[in-house]
Amino acid sequence: MQLISDLLDVQKLELGQLKMKKENTDIRATADRSIQTLQPQIEEDGITIINEVASIVAPHDSDRITQVLTNLIRNSLKAVKPGTGKIRIYSEDSPAELKIIISDNGIGIPYDKQSKLFTKFYQADASLTREKGGSGLGLSICKGIVEAHGGKISLQSTPDSGTTVTFSLPKSDHRGAV
Ligand SMILES: Nc1ncnc2c1ncn2[C@@H]1O[C@H](COP(=O)(O)OP(=O)(O)OP(=O)(O)O)[C@@H](O)[C@H]1O
Ligand SMILES: [Mg+2]
């Protein structure tokens, strides 16, 4: 069951016991994999998904970053309208880090609630939750996994217009280096 699996991940991340298996993998392949798992729902809802992630090798745990991306895309799928919903995933490359950005044209999030979203169990929209389910763990797991890679995650949202989530992956792992 998803809730139990999410709770275990949250717990392990808090204890620093969720070990990342970082490998030099193409981030584009990880993004493709994430979209593939959600393809049936994307098609059923008539959502346009644009994958413009560049083919760049960056050290990451592909399974865990797939988990981050599917959580974020699932959030966007809950926020957009069937038929007109649009989700764009793209990347920004720099010498030090790779940024992955997930942007949607969904309902957005009220400004006064945006700072709490990465707190476990927090959900901004009670009606959306009732309708679409979830338990408010997704973003806290995303934050834990991204930070375990040495990266950062942030969210910008405009109510009634859309939401953009950006996370970074450092190009090289300096932790443990002399
Ligand atoms: N793209 C988005 N558009 C609008 N609201 C969002 C978006 N992403 C997150 N949110 C808001 O942030 C809240 C927290 O997101 P989070 O992923 O942590 O939990 P959830 O999706 O409700 O449940 P879970 O991920 O555990 O299934 C959501 O309930 C929703 O209110
Ligand atoms: Mg979620």
Would you give the DSSP letter of residue 112?
Answer: G
Q: pLDDT grade, residue 2 (50/70/90)?
A: confident
- Nearest atom within ligand 1 for CA of residue 108: 4
What was the pLDDT predicted at 133?
A: 75
Residue identified by tokens 């009670």 is 126
- Residue 178: pLDDT over 90: no
- DSSP-assigned letters across all residues of 56-74: -EEEE-HHHHHHHHHHHHH
CA 5 to centroid of ligand 1, rounded, Å: 17
For ligand 1, say whether the CB of 7 is within 6 Å of any of its atoms. no
pLDDT digits (tens, 9 = 90+) for 66-109: 999 999 999 999 999 999 999 999 999 999 999 999 999 999 99
The residue extents of the domains of the chain are 2-13+43-170
pLDDT at 97: 96
**CA-wise closest residue to 106 among 68, 154, 159:** 159
2-13+43-170, superfamily in CATH? Histidine kinase-like ATPase, C-terminal domain (3.30.565.10)
